[in-house]
Amino acid sequence: RANLRLIEPAPPPAGRAPVAGRQLRGFRMFRRKTHARPQPAKPPARTSVTGRVTRAVGRLVLRFLRRPDAPRLIATAVLAFLVFTWPGRVVGLAVTAALALMALYMAIGYDRLAEWIYHRYLKIKARDPERAEALRLRAVAITKRLEHWTSRLPQSWTQGLYLPEFEEPQPLSGKMLDDPFDKLARQAGQTPQTEA
């Protein structure tokens, strides 16, 4: 500590006021210069270009709204906007629905989704069999259309693709009703064991 000494402030230059400051471990920390030069007087503030444009647009809008045919013109403009943006809304809605279905499929998995759809179909069938049959026939038509489209693709692209079947199960013929293992057991002279 004996070797540490504070640096003495340098004398102010001639013609300038002294500088207010403090010393900290040999470094000068300046707070504010007291010899600031006077600033020239500012000209009166002018409005910006944006402010002038905003006021002009506001005056035009008010003038337009005072017209007697303004509501009809506004309604026509809104209707034209909706007509011209409708295709974009339809496409956006279709993309959103497809993304929502993909998110649902990825969140709950194939098995649970198929089980949910099947139980929903059974509820509809119990309540309204005609509507359930119409839904099933529509699903069959969509599946056939998808099979037709996928048949045009290269086989390597559709190798692991299995589309669901919505056809009604056909009654088995008499030959298929007989279990082949039961038939083998009878031929061997044994009685088939059935699990309880």
> Which two structure tokens, joined as six digits, stand for 182?
């039961």
Give the bridge partners for 21, in sequence order: 30
> Which tokens in the block code for residue 2?
């004996």
164: nearest Cα among 130, 119, 115, 98: 115
pTM of the complete model:
0.39
Mean pLDDT confidence for 57-75: 91
Distance of alpha carbon 129 from alpha carbon 195, whole angstroms: 35
Q: Is the pLDDT of residue 183 over 60?
A: yes
Enumerate the β-bridge partners of residue 27. 24
Could you report the per-residue pLDDT of 11-64, keeping only the tens digit for each?
Answer: 656 665 555 555 444 445 545 555 556 677 676 666 688 888 899 999 998 998
